[in-house]
Structure 1
Amino acid sequence: MVLKSKSFKAILIFFIIVTVICIGLAVDYLTLPPMTKDFLNKIGTIQEDDLKNNLKFYRDKIQQEVKGTGHRDALKHSYFSLGYIESLNEDYNQSNDYYYRALSIDSLHCDTLCGMVYRELSFNAIHQGQIEKGFEYYNLALQAFKDDEAEVMSLNYRFSQALDYTKDYRAQIIKILESNKTKKQEPFQEIQNLRLLAKIYLFSAQYSKSINYLLDAFEVSVWNDYKNLQRAITIELGNAYFLNKNYEEAVETLYPCLLRWGDVDLNIYFEQLAKSLRMVYGYDHAIEFLNQHSESVKNLMTDHEIWLQFWVELLQAELSVFENKPEIARIYLNRAQAIYEKNATSLHAMLNYWIEKIDLDILVLKGEKSDQILEQYIDLYKKIASSDIYFISKISLLDEIINQSLKLNHYSLAYDAMKSRAQIVDNELLDDDLIDLNEIYLKTKEERQNRNVSKRIVLFFMISITTMGIGSIVYLISNHKKRILDLVTEVEAQKDFDSLTHTLTKSALYNRLEKYFGQELTFTVVQYDDLKRYNEVYGYLNGDHIIRILSNQIKNTFTQEYISRHSGHFFIIVSTDSKENCVLKVKKLLQMIYDLNIINTLVLEHRRMTVSAGLSSGIIHSKQDIDHYIKVASHHLEVSRQRGCNTFTV
């Protein structure tokens, strides 16, 4: 009885101690000054934009709270908040000073706030170029958070966000963020995690992966009614479609942004939308779209409207160049230049790069190929490569300089521009291309040096080669030039193929089908059943693996057809064969995938991955007809999926 009484007392004392600690922690939190508490509650949430828009307000209020409090825990949290404010303001030295002050209070005890301080010190160090120190602080933060999974995920995201600033650690970022993706996250954190992953893949020229992650992020934003994030994600998705040359999807994604949100963030996607409209509906439609926008802002004179007027004229000039209309392009360019010169103080100086480029493009289009034009292209390339122009615009400008350089037979400039482009996107596939391009560069450099030798040596050289046989030398030079052109053609051809499956991109498919106008074709759209859920459970790496499997099986079944990957998870198959024969091949494909028994425990009926398909056929006369029959086949695919897995509809 005495033992029981002692045990009861011990348990009672234990519960009293735990209760006192919990009350103490609660009191600590409740004693936080109101503005500090409000600021901390918004960090890492959908409300963080509110902080960025009101930095001075929060700084002044929290500094007043620091002066008026003697509570140590409140002081730590206030110093941390001030450090975060200065970091948002990109004053990293002042930010570090506040973080060190927070650490100096009760420095022997490292709690969650201590881990948060190390997390932010890591962020600051990387932005200051102190990479090793950033990794040290990251490891200290990991130790402080220990088993707090939510804080570890927040640390991983923040650390990845900082590493992205350096552009040198994309493989590590992907690894860190992929580990976050496998864990349960708060909706806002999950969206930001997916968006950062999408950005990294976009900068690595893996556009299909970027699109998949953005689609997932958009879905989470819809579930949680994050309307502001929906706009941002939609624009990012449209730009990714544009870079992947999915021009129809780019239009379908970006045009509703314009209708729903007007000119908000228009500067981020206006160029991509106009160029996509040209690719989908033609030059006249794109020009009409730009003219409508010009009329809507013609009498307004705010900086935004001036910028828009300038871009309307500039894009009309650029689209006219693409259509081989140099005279019309010159008219639009003169208008753009007049707007720029009149409003130079309100327009960014780098916008002049586009004026210079289009001016040179028009001259080349008219047949001019002087050394002076080449020198101007080289000078312009150097300015673009070293600038901080928006990523997508920079890629677009470099691509066009590459194309013009090849037209002018200036391979060393093409090499330099391709190398700069590869460094921007950090794409391993491009690195392989550069091995051949390096040879191009070295040999053209040698040729350029040979052209600069003195006339006397040239004369001696010509006499010498006459005795050797001019025919042989001409043959060698011609053969060498052909090899260079073949290499360049090979590099250009790679743009037509999806990097994961080596099937055609959708735009390349459309171009190849133009020669069949007036003929009847059969269109088949194939997709895995419930691939999205498979990716969520088994991961996107496994998802990519089974997409490659499906691609290979399609190639083995449809050996004479055109095959294109569309929107990451659809395959479009176009055949000159009859619909009846294509149905037989579709049946064979469905059975082949079924027999492979790719495990998928999410499907209760089959316990494996299956595919469904939709077919349509008809005579095509234009790209609009191709669109129509693909949409009909896609509708039949949706009917198949509603009927169940592993089936097709004609």
Structure 2
Amino acid sequence: MRGKSRWLKILSVLVIVAILVASVLRGKVFFSESDEFIEKILSGESQNFSEEQLATYEIDINKELTHLKSRKDLEKIYFALGKIAALQGNYESSTNYLLNAASFITGRHQPIDALIYETLATNYLVLDDVENGYLYFEEANNVIFQLKNSPLAISFYQQFAKGLTEYTDHTTFPIYLLSEAIQLTRDEEQKVILMKQLAEVYDINGLKDLAVSELTRALNMSVSLHNKELQLQLMNHLIRFYFGAHQYEETEEMLKNYFSIASDDPKENYDMLWHWLQVQYFLHGYEGFENGLSKLAKKYPEVVEEEKEYIEWFIAFNRAYFLMLEGKYEESEAYLKEAELIKNRENVSPVVSELIEMVRLDLSYRTKASDINFTERYQQLLAKMYFTPDTSGIMHHVMPQILARLLELGDYETVYQYTSRLRDPLDQELDAINALRDMIQKSAQREMQFNTSFSRVVIKYGGYVMATLFGIGLAYGAYRYNVYLATLKKRVKDSGKTDTLTRTLTKKALYEQLESEMDPDKNYYFLLMDINDFKLYNQDFGYLAGDRVLVEISHLLKEVFPDAAISRHSGHHFIIVLKDVEEHAVIEKVTFILEAIKQSQTISAKREITCCVGISKGHIKNTIDIDEYINLATIKLNISKQRGKGIYTL
């Protein structure tokens, strides 16, 4: 018995050792290159791959494909090759690999299924096929929801939002995607990065106040995280926002904070130095600019010597620019020639060359040179600046100056074209993607409804069955493409017409409607309404409460002006255009709505809301007339605001 017991113990030990050895061997022998690559993708390392690493993985995984013994691994291998191609920028090749991978999806490897669909979704955005992008977005989101995998969802929403903003005109849906990702993440540093991305999307949509608020919150979090790099990035964005809004005191304060933690190498901070000098000039005049230069010389005494030639150009150019603004044209000319000489010796960027060209052209314009076609030259310069990559953001602040000059020259058409590009949000996909937004925000309810709906069960599971039958699968695919995608395409086409929140017209749609219905014999009234102290309301009660106020006011406007063209403009402004009405009727309705807003128990529930209105009137003969009447209404609105609250001016 003792001998038998000893042998049982030995056998048990051998079994345990065998299991451990098998586990190690499985990790070393059976863990393939494609497995390793996918593990890194799932852990979020895809952004850190070098070109050499990707090339090595591509070679090794192709070898793995060549020696493949089981078809069950084709899904992961085709996915890995497709993802590598996408990271290398070969999107068509990537899509071909991924479609092959998708044909092997069985639901057994759901994380890989989700990665296939999400990469296809972003690929199609890059390839300018938005319909398929949304189609695979929905497929990926379905799988991710089933997995209940928050990190996967966060990564997917972030990447898809980036794809929409970089490659399409669909700039509203990313707000919902990034907001959802921010709610899902528990990593504070990742949350800051997402908030920064959300602020950039707000900016693209013209929601400047929301962008600044999001950046400020993100900056406070980055300070608590002691992340210096993130702090600098966020302060850089805030400086540009404040400067663009002419809030020079706030810009100066943020610049001081920026320089307190930034590197001592001026070459890394020339864009911020440029903003610093601009602020000193606008706050303190030319003397303030010279004092700013003196402070910079004290801050960078040693580095200035090392980068002497570039610093000399920087100082000469800025002196030429500000002396020109002061009207000291001869002195400006001398410094401009110095900057041009240094530029010719230095290998400078296109941004620098175009800034010098702008000052040279402005100087010629101010001194009334007679041998230059200024309209043509400013048009050419504007076109070059618009297409010049500008990481510093300087062009964003310079281009409006050129537009103002073209306006003086009477080139209304160019000004209209570029103003719409620079200021107006791009065409929106709002109607087409509302269902997708609801799918994300109400996914629990959606899944319950899906499970209880016979037709949805048939579609969901019938698709898997039909996929096994080649002929029926093709029929199903054709049906889905021709019906679902055709419907989505129509929605996308029509989506740019309404504001997602208030369901009023976008400004672009307003212009299009007025242009299409233009009647030069009829009299038009343009009403520009502004909600007083709305920024403070948002700060006190939150942006959701502010959104509710906007929605309720839009409903009231539609009731009072049922035949008007109503557009939401610049966040908390509304433009109302009335055609062929009597003046006393306009005044009566404006008086009524100002009082109704103030007395409304829903609009003024938290605090009394008042508005001011500016009114202009006249006949519309062309698009420029529309601009002029809106500008005139803006002037009248400012007069109303100076007179008090709840005031209109005609």
Indicate how the Cα distance of structure 1 residues 108 and 209 shifts in structure 2: closer, same or farther if over 3 A, else same: closer
The residue number in structure 2 matching 1:393 is: 394
User: Equivalent residues in 2 for 1:297-308 (5 A)?
Assistant: 297-300=303-306
1:130 maps to 129
Gaps of at least 5 residues in structure 1 are: 1-19, 444-486, 506-526, 550-567, 569-591, 600-607, 611-650
Cα distance in 2, alignment partners of residues 153 and 415 from structure 1: 39
Q: In the alignment, which residue of structure 2 is the partner of 1:153?
A: 154
The answer to whether residue 52 in structure 2 is matched with residue 60 in structure 1 is: no
Are the counterparts in 2 of residues 33 and 74 from structure 1 also a CA contact under 8 Å?
Answer: no
**Pairing 1:327–2:330 present:** yes
Q: Kindly indicate whether the alpha-carbon contact (under 8 Å) linking 1:398 and 1:417 is maintained by their aligned counterparts in 2.
A: no
Counterpart Cα distance in 1 of 2:234 and 2:69: 42
User: 2:538, 2:546 within 8 Å by CA — same for their partners in 1?
Assistant: no
How far apart in 1 are the matches of 2:348 and 2:425?
25
- Aligned in 2, Cα 1:547/1:100: closer, same or farther, shift over 3 Å? closer
- TM-superposed CA distance for 1:180, in Å, is 3.7
Whole-Å separation in 1 of the counterparts to 2:275 and 2:75: 47
TM superposition shift of 1:438:
8.9
Tell me, what secondary structure is at the counterpart of 1:109? coil
Residues 325-474 of structure 1: pairs in structure 2 closer than 5 A? 325-343=328-346, 346-368=347-369, 372-390=373-391, 392-422=393-423, 431=508
Cα offsets for 1:566-612 (capped at 9, x unmatched): xx9xxxxxxxxxxxxxxxxxxxxxxx9xx99999xxxxxxxx899xx
Give the C-alpha shift of residue 81 in structure 1. Answer: 5.5
- The one-letter code matched in structure 1 to 2:328 is K
What amino acid is the match of 1:122?
A
Q: Distance in 2 between matches of 1:66 and 1:296?
A: 54
Deviation at 1:168, TM superposition (A): 0.8
**CA distance, structure 2, for counterparts of residue 250 and residue 71 of structure 1:** 64
Contact 1:59/1:82 (8 A) holds in 2:
no
Q: Is the 8 A contact 1:415 1:437 kept in 2?
A: no
Q: How far is the alpha carbon of 1:160 from its aligned partner?
A: 1.0
The residue identity in structure 1 corresponding to 2:115 is: M
Q: 1:281 to 1:431 in 2, by over 3 A?
A: farther
| Match in the other structure for 2:114 | 115
Alpha-carbon distance in structure 1 between the residues aligned to 2:231 and 2:262: 11
Q: Distance in 2 between matches of 1:416 and 1:308?
A: 37
**Which amino acid in 1 is paired with 2:342?**
I
Q: Is the 8 A contact 1:278 1:286 kept in 2?
A: yes
8 Å Cα contact 1:198-1:209 kept in structure 2: yes
* Alignment map for 1:233-632 (pairs within 5 Å): 233-262=234-263, 263=265, 265-267=268-270, 269-290=272-293, 292=296, 297-300=303-306, 310-343=313-346, 346-368=347-369, 372-390=373-391, 392-422=393-423, 431=508, 501=531, 531=540, 535=542, 540-543=543-546
The residue identity in structure 2 corresponding to 1:240 is F
After superposition, the Cα gap between the structure-2 partners of 1:417 and 1:108, relative to the gap in structure 1 and judged at 3 Å, is closer
| CA distance, structure 1, for counterparts of residue 256 and residue 229 of structure 2 | 17
One-letter amino acid matched to 1:176? L
Give the aligned partner of residue 626 of structure 1.
none
Q: Classify the secondary structure of the residue corresponding to 1:217.
A: helix
Task: State the alpha-carbon separation in 1 of the partners of residues 57 and 74 from structure 2.
Answer: 13
**Structure 1 residue identity aligned to 2:52:** K
Is residue 156–residue 180 contact of structure 1 (8 Å, CA) maintained in 2?
A: yes
The answer to whether the 8 Å contact 2:105/2:113 transfers is no
Cα gap change, 1:337 to 1:431, in 2 (>3 Å):
farther
Contact 1:369 1:408 in 2 (8 A): no
8 Å CA contact retained: 1:202, 1:240: no
CA shift for structure 1 position 118? 1.4
Structure 1: distance between partners of 2:371 and 2:510:
29
Which letter maps to 2:306? Answer: L
Give secondary structure in 2 for the equivalent of 1:282.
helix
One-letter identity of the residue aligned with 2:163: A
Residue deviations 1:65-89 (CA, integer Å, cap 9, x gap): 7747979899866765664454344
Shift of 1:212: 0.8
State the alpha-carbon separation in 2 of the partners of residues 273 and 351 from structure 1.
17
SS at match of 2:373: helix
Contact 1:126 1:134 in 2 (8 A): yes
Change (3 A) 1:438 1:547: closer
Residue 226 of structure 1, CA deviation? 3.5
Greater alpha carbon shift after TM alignment, 142-151 vs 111-120: 142-151
Determine the C-alpha separation between the residues in 1 that align with 2:105 and 2:419: 55
- The one-letter amino acid of 1:271's match is W
| 1:167 CA drift (Å) | 4.6
2:584: which partner in 1? none
What TM-score, normalized to structure 1? 0.57
Partner amino acid, structure 2, of 1:171: T
Q: Is the 8 A contact 1:211 1:237 kept in 2?
A: yes
Alignment of 1:196-211 (within 5 A): 196-211=197-212
Q: TM-score, normalised by structure 2?
A: 0.57
Tell me by how many angstroms 1:139 deviates: 1.6
Task: Using the TM superposition, give the Cα deviation of residue 28 of structure 1 relative to its aligned residue in structure 2, in angstroms.
Answer: 7.9
**What is the percent sequence identity of the aligned residues?**
18
8 Å CA contact 2:378, 2:402 repeated in 1: yes
- CA, structure 1 residues 399+246, in 2 after alignment: closer, same or farther (shift >3 Å)? same
- Give the whole-Å Cα distance in 2 for the aligned partners of 1:111 and 1:29: 24
Please tell me whether the aligned partners of residues 402 and 414 of structure 1 are also in contact (alpha carbons under 8 angstroms). Answer: yes
Q: Contact between 2:350 and 2:388, CA under 8 Å: does it hold in 1?
A: no
Preserved contact between residue 381 and residue 398 of structure 1 (Cα < 8 Å)? yes
1:170 match: secondary structure: coil
- How far is the alpha carbon of 1:213 from its aligned partner? 0.9
**1:180-234 deviation per Cα after TM superposition (whole angstroms, max 9, x unaligned):** 4444543344223322221112123321110111122223333444332222222
Query: Does structure 2 retain, via aligned residues, the 8 Å contact 1:275–1:286?
Result: yes
After superposition, the Cα gap between the structure-2 partners of 1:419 and 1:85, relative to the gap in structure 1 and judged at 3 Å, is: same
Matching residue's letter, 1:140: E
SS, match of residue 285 in structure 1:
helix
Give the partner amino acid of 1:253.
M
Residue aligning to 2:555 = none
Change (3 A) 1:542 1:61: same
> How far, CA to CA, are the matches of 2:511 and 2:317 in structure 1?
32
Q: CA RMSD in A?
A: 4.9
8 Å Cα contact 2:206/2:424 also seen in 1: no
Map 1:74-89 to 2 at 5 A. 80=79, 83-89=82-88
Contact 1:160–1:173 (CA under 8 A) maintained in structure 2: yes
CA distance in 2, matches of 1:324, 1:430: 38
Cα deviation for residue 338 of structure 1 reads 1.8
Report the 3-state secondary structure (helix = DSSP H, G, I; strand = E; otherwise coil) of the residue aligned with 1:169. coil
Q: Which residue does 2:169 correspond to in 1?
A: 168
Letter in structure 2 aligned against 1:118: Y
Residue matched to 2:218? 217
Aligned to 1:91: 90
For residues 400-424 of structure 1, the C-alpha deviation after alignment (integer angstroms, 9 at most, x for no partner) is 1122223444444433443443357
**2-side partners of 1:529 and 1:208: how far apart?**
10
Q: For residues 436 and 286 of structure 1, what CA distance do their matches in structure 2 show?
A: 48
Cα displacement string for residues 279-325 of structure 1 (whole angstroms, at most 9, x for unaligned residues)? 23433333443463586555436xxx866654443333333333333
Deviation of the 1:275 alpha carbon? 1.9
Q: Distance in 1 between matches of 2:311 and 2:32?
A: 45
Aligned AA for 1:275? Q
Deviation at 1:114, TM superposition (A): 1.5
Q: Give yes or no for the alignment of 1:143 onto 2:142.
A: yes
